[in-house]
């Protein structure tokens, strides 16, 4: 079966978004790329920094509330619907819920051909990238670097600590059928 969805999971500042863009450049067919960051940015201001929506603790951890979970479910279902309608999709996500996050995607993408990709990066390197970006709470990258991979199964694993995003994208593309 032809790969319809590529799910990239990794901590903040691990390089997922750059890999997703690189995949769009190296894959022969058009692929849409969607990031959980875009979903968070789409939230109404009342749900940013809200117990009902999403909050960021002083240690960089992320806490999602009930309204966020409802909207995240709709976002996930929408991406799955696009794939079912014929779009090839790259998803850039952070499995802060561990295996439950992957299971949520597995349910939404049931019946589709999915390539699961783990995007790892050394915590210190991710933290340095985070600081250079300046758009993330301090500590987020370090706290997520290994935690988001615990209990997750992958078809492909990458380490962006010293590997160029384009080379990572080529490694993923080699597994796309």
* pLDDT mean across residues, the chain: 96
Say what the pLDDT of residue 121 is: 98
Residue 134 has pLDDT above 90, yes or no: no
How many CB atoms are located within 10 Å of the residue 57 CB? 12
Q: Is the pLDDT of residue 124 over 90?
A: yes
* Residues with catalytic roles: 37
SS3 75: helix
pLDDT of amino acid 113? 98
- Distance, C-alpha 134 to centroid of its chain: 19
């Amino acid at each position: 079966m032809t790969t319809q969805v590529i799910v990239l999971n990794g901590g903040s500042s691990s390089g997922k978004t750059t890999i997703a863009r690189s995949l769009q450049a190296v894959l022969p067919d058009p692929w849409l790329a969607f990031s959980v960051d875009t979903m968070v940015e789409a939230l109404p201001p009342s749900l940013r920094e809200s117990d009902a929506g999403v909050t960021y603790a002083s240690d960089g951890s992320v806490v999602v509330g009930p309204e966020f979970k409802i909207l995240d479910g709709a976002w996930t279902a929408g991406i799955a619907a696009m794939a079912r309608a014929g779009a090839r999709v790259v998803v850039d996500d952070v499995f802060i819920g561990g295996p439950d996050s992957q299971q949520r995607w597995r349910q939404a993408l049931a019946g589709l051909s999915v390539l699961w990709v783990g995007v790892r990066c050394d915590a210190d390197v991710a933290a340095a990238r985070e600081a250079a970006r300046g758009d993330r709470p301090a500590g987020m990258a370090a706290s997520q670097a290994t935690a988001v991979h615990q209990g997750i199964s992958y078809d492909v694993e990458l380490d962006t600590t010293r590997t160029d995003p384009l080379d990572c994208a080529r490694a993923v593309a080699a597994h796309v059928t």
